[in-house]
């Protein structure tokens, strides 16, 4: 036996006796309770049906995130376009009737074809009003058909509504996952980054027409508050900090309100 | 029950790698939760013990990497706060030196050393759990021992005598 072999044997023996020596009694029951909680109180025993609990994070398919992001981007784009575009709408341009054979309009005022058209909207209105090739004025779209009293078309309103619903669905999933982590006294790093994404989207929605509905606005504000606390929660946060968030979730009934606000989907 | 059969060994290994009861419990729990969730993926061509140790190693090593990153951030902050304070420490004894030397091993070496020399796993078991060849396990153990001998060379005289 060489010196190296002897030293290896001694090292092995000493390491086995001293290095991170586990306790004699393994806390089996304690861990089993946590495991049961972790798999949703299912009995995963031998031969039994395998537990099919999937982490909440994975329940939301990847495409949902892309869809939410796309819808939000679209909604923001539309809103920016509306804010930066011309203030007058085509529908607001006073309609002028086709000139009669004497070149006068319905008010009797002579039509001045040579009059300069200065307003861009007016130009557009003129283009729209041009005849259909048979001498008849082209029919104009009914503005009421496309605009609601808030000045937004139905498509945009619906896009915001869908974006808000999807966002609330995701927030509900995240908060449920977070609550599960909270009860086990741990904090997954993914939850924190998920919370950050949700917080940004919540703020976007709060600044968008989706927050015009007072109930939804209040919900988004409460959600924002909870998300801020979650995002700021460090992995080594004290029990008091965690209880504080738990309290915010419970007192404001954020989760219950989220679930109420999420429309039922097919198959649920 | 599967849990009762394997929990002790999984917990012991997790404790050896983590060095803390809290972490060892977390890793063990996570291992069994994952295993039960994926029972349908378990193919009986390997034993349940081998399979669960593969999960345990994945969970423990990933968990330790996260903890290490977190503690590195914390310790760098602590260092920044204690600049200028001269620490006077007693010369660590042999056990402490051994612990430090094992902790200082590269992750792969340390894992194989702990599994083989401390917990008594075979190279085949280690290879399956870590997803490497048994030869790789042997090579890493050889290098781990060499590094430990080098780190504790100043104690060699009194040991072998």
Residue B19 backbone class (left: φ over 0; alpha: ψ -120 to 50; beta: rest): left
A19 to B4: CB separation less than 8 angstroms, yes or no = no
**Beta carbons of A14 and B11 less than 8 Å apart:** no
Q: Which position has the token pair 């703020």?
A: A203
Whether A124 has a pLDDT exceeding 50, the answer reads: no
A159-189 confidence digits (pLDDT tens): 888 888 888 888 888 888 887 777 777 777 7
Q: Considering only CB atoms, which chain A residues are within 8 Å of B37?
A: 39, 50-54
Residue with more model confidence, A257 or A267: A257
Distance CA A4, CA B153 (A): 10
Nearest CA in chain A to B32: A35
Task: Dump pLDDT digits (tens) for A197-254.
Answer: 888 888 888 888 888 888 888 888 888 888 888 888 776 777 777 777 777 777 777 8
Question: Which residue of chain A comes nearest to B118, CA vs CA?
Answer: A16
Distance between CA atoms of B114 and B125, rounded to whole angstroms?
13
> What is the predicted ipTM?
0.80
Question: pTM of the predicted model, to two decimals?
Answer: 0.45
Q: How far is A236 from chain B (nearest CA, A)?
A: 10
**pLDDT single digits (tens) B44-84:** 667 888 899 999 999 999 999 988 877 776 666 655 555 44
Tell me the C-alpha distance between A158 and A199, whole Å: 22
Cα dist from A265 to A34, A165, A259, A268, whole Å:
32, 11, 12, 6
Start-to-end Cα distance in chain A: 71
DSSP H or E run through B130: helix B123-130
Mean pLDDT of A115-122: 45
Would you call B37 and A32 a contact, using CB atoms and an 8 Å cutoff? Answer: no
Nearest CA in chain B to A27: B25
By three-state DSSP, how is residue A190 classified? helix
Distance between CA atoms of residues B71 and A265, nearest Å: 44
Return the residue in A26, A49, A54, A188 with the most chain B beta carbons within 10 A, the one to mutate for interface testing: A26
CB contact under 8 A, B7 and A28: yes
């Amino acid at each position: 036996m060489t010196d190296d072999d002897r030293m290896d044997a001694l090292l092995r023996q000493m390491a086995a006796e001293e290095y991170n020596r586990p306790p004699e009694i393994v806390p089996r029951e304690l861990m089993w309770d946590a495991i049961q909680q972790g798999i949703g109180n299912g009995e995963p025993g031998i031969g039994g049906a395998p537990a099919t609990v999937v982490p909440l994070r994975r329940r939301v398919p990847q495409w949902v995130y892309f869809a939410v992001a796309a819808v939000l981007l679209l909604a923001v784009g539309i809103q920016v376009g509306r804010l930066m575009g011309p203030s007058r709408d085509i529908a607001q341009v006073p309609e002028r009737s086709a000139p009669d054979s004497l070149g006068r309009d319905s008010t009797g005022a002579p039509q001045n074809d040579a009059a300069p058209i200065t307003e861009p909207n007016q130009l557009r209105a003129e283009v729209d009003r041009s005849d259909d090739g048979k001498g008849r004025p082209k029919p104009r779209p009914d503005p009421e058909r496309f605009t609601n009293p808030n000045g937004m078309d139905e498509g945009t309103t619906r896009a915001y509504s869908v974006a808000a619903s999807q966002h609330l669905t995701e927030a509900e999933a995240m908060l449920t996952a977070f609550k599960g982590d909270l009860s086990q006294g741990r904090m997954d790093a993914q939850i924190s980054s998920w919370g950050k994404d949700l917080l940004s989207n919540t703020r976007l929605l709060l600044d968008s027409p989706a927050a015009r509905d007072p109930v939804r606005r209040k919900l988004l504000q409460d959600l924002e508050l909870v998300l801020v606390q979650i995002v700021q929660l460090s992995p080594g946060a004290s029990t008091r900090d965690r209880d504080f968030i738990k309290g915010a979730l419970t007192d404001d009934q954020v989760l219950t309100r989220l679930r109420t606000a999420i429309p039922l989907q097919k198959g649920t | 029950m599967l849990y009762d059969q394997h929990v002790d060994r999984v917990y012991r290994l997790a404790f050896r790698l983590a060095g803390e009861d809290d972490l060892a419990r977390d890793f063990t729990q996570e291992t069994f939760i994952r295993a039960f969730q994926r029972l349908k993926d378990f193919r009986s061509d390997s034993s349940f013990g081998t399979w669960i140790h593969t999960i345990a190693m994945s969970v423990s090593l990933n968990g330790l990497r996260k903890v290490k990153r977190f503690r590195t951030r914390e310790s760098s902050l602590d260092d920044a706060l204690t600049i200028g304070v001269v620490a006077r420490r007693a010369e660590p004894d042999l056990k402490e030196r051994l612990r430090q030397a094992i902790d200082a091993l590269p992750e792969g070496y340390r894992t194989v050393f702990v599994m083989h020399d401390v917990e008594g796993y075979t190279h085949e078991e280690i290879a399956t759990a870590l997803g490497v060849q048994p030869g790789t396990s042997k090579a890493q153990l050889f290098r781990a021992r060499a590094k430990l001998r080098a780190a504790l060379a100043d104690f060699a005289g009194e040991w072998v005598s």
